[in-house]
Amino acid sequence: MKEDCIFCKLANGVFDTVTVYEDEDFRAIMDIAPAAKGHVLLLPKEHMADLLEMDENVANKALPILQKIANAMKEEFRCDGINMLQNNGKAAGQTVFHLHFHLIPRYDEDHVILPWKTLSYEEGEALAVANSIKKHL
């Protein structure tokens, strides 16, 4: 646990929170400032800042839990869709620097999350960009 990390304290039950799911590695809680009613955050109990630092055990276990909660939300809310979001770094909108995944129920025409303005690639640019990433893999 990281001493100054609020999500470490929430995930490990040091601070009280509304929990929708818990196992030995994770806690899923209700977001305190939800984008929509039913907005859930899945937190690993172990501290890691973001996706880039994610532990392999957490990586392997997170997606099936997110799927399970998303299906429960769909069944209960009868929502039309669900966003699964995950921000890494301040520039990407991360405000709490303990890895977490957002699950947000969505309804037709709710306009909760504005889509981004799209760009386009010049001829061959997408391939060049892909290759520049690939050389680090």
Residues with catalytic function: 100
CB-nearer residue toward ligand AMP: 95 or 132 = 95
**Helix, strand, coil percent content, the chain, rounded in steps of 5:** 30, 20, 50
User: Of 47-55, 70-78, 93-101, 122-130, which part binds ligand AMP (CB under 6 A)?
Assistant: 93-101
Question: Which 81-110 residues touch Zn ion, going by CB under 5 A?
Answer: 98
* Cα dihedral 65, 56, 51, 22 in deg (nearest 10): 30
Query: With CB cut-offs between 5 and 8 Å by kind, which of Zn ion, ligand AMP, none does residue 98 bind?
Result: Zn ion
137 lies in the binding site for ligand AMP (CB under 6 A)? no
11 lies in the binding site for ligand AMP (CB under 6 A)? no
**How many CB atoms neighbour CB 39 within 10 A?**
19
CB-nearer residue toward Zn ion: 42 or 73 = 42
Which residues contact ligand AMP (rule: CB under 6 A)?
6, 10, 17, 29, 31-33, 41, 87, 93-96
